[in-house]
Amino acid sequence: MSRDVFIFSTGKLHRKHNTLYFTDEEGKSRPLPVEQAESIHLFGQVDFNTSLLHILTQHDVRLHIYNYYGYYDGTYYPRNSRVSGYTTVQQSAHYLDVEKRLYLAKAFIYSAVHHMQRNMRKAGTGLQTHIDTMASRAALLEEASSVPAVMGIEGQCRQIYYDAFPLMIREGTFSWEYRSKRPPHDPLNALISFGNSMMYTSIVSEIYKTMLDPTISFLHEPSSKRFSLSLDLAEIFKPLLVDPLIFNLVNNRRIQKKHFSNQEGIIHLNEEGKKIFLAAYDEKMKSTFKHRKLKRNVSYRYLVRLEAYKLIKHYIGDETYKPFKAWW
């Protein structure tokens, strides 16, 4: 089974014959299983050269790079052989047609709302008012006639969700005031931003394995320097996968305040905290569940790719897109 490889240390990533090695600052080398690697994630200061890129291309391995705070910077992709001009044309046509674009934008938010409400239900009593209020806001999607209006409704629903966080976080762990991103102003916000960054990267990797163009999106406006379709799909998977994982790690005190650092007012996970989160995240993405339609077990990582395949079928007219909604 392919797996993700995470590197936190400073050192050099290099090729020796047909094997990939990582050499740390002390000169100690260890081989990396390039034949089994899905992606390599670089969190440390790592040197590499074009020889490395050649072997990554041969084995179809992506190289994801993160900044000092652990947030996604960019990716090296091997040459993509999964291209389809017809699919790209149809994907573009769905962006250019207002009604077709609106349908997809709303679909992503319907799924996001479903999973946010699901998290609140699982949190226990005292959140029914938040659930009902969110449902009333989500009902406005039916009449929304523009993508900005859809985004506005999404913002209202998410604010209701964030207002419920104090009732979803166990007392004595972390405090919560409001959502802040650039930079996160407290540990819980830093944890959410880091988790969302990892989800974005996972979706980028899965889209790469399909014929989709990652820059043509529907809810988020396409722009330069980002794979905006990944942001669209992340609306589905952040509340389904990232948020429950965060609640579990925090409420069970597997991640505590000692796992964060403050650098010039920027709160971020330290190395130990990143390792704890990434171990749990990787385990979740590899875990499986019985897919109701496919009648077989699929991993959550593969579930992301299935969502991409559903979009392709929608573009080419095979099957109307219905966003994933967890039924359990």
Domain-wise residue ranges, the chain = 3-76, 85-315
pLDDT score at 51:
85
Q: What is the pLDDT of residues 231-242, one digit of tens each?
A: 999 999 999 999
Between 15 and 119, residue with greater pLDDT: 119
Q: Cα-Cα-Cα-Cα dihedral of 126, 130, 131, 134, to 10°?
A: 180
Q: What is the pLDDT of residues 140-169, one digit of tens each?
A: 999 999 999 999 999 999 999 999 999 999
pLDDT at 80 over 80: no
Is 220 annotated for ligand binding?
yes
Q: What is the pLDDT of residues 223-268, one digit of tens each?
A: 766 789 999 999 999 999 999 999 999 999 999 999 999 887 789 9
With beta carbons less than 8 A apart as the criterion, state whether 275 and 70 touch. Answer: no
Q: Tokens representing 146? A: 């523009």
Residue carrying structure tokens 């409420």: 251
Q: What is the pLDDT of residues 272-291, one digit of tens each?
A: 999 999 999 999 999 999 99
For residues 31-55, average pLDDT: 87
Is 235 annotated for ligand binding?
yes
pLDDT score at 1:
56
Burial profile 307-327: b = 16 or more Cβ within 10 angstroms, e = fewer:
bbebbbebbeeeeebebbebe
Is 154 annotated for ligand binding?
yes
Q: Sorting pLDDT into bands at 50, 70 and 90, what band is 44?
A: confident
- Which is nearest to 206 in space by CA: 324, 311, 306, 100? 306
Domain 85-315 is found in CATH 3.40.50.720 = no
At 187, which amino acid appears? Answer: P
Q: What is the pLDDT of residues 161-171, one digit of tens each?
A: 999 999 999 98
Across all residues in the chain, what is the average pLDDT? Answer: 92
CATH superfamily, domain at 3-76: CRISPR-associated endonuclease Cas1, N-terminal domain (3.100.10.20)
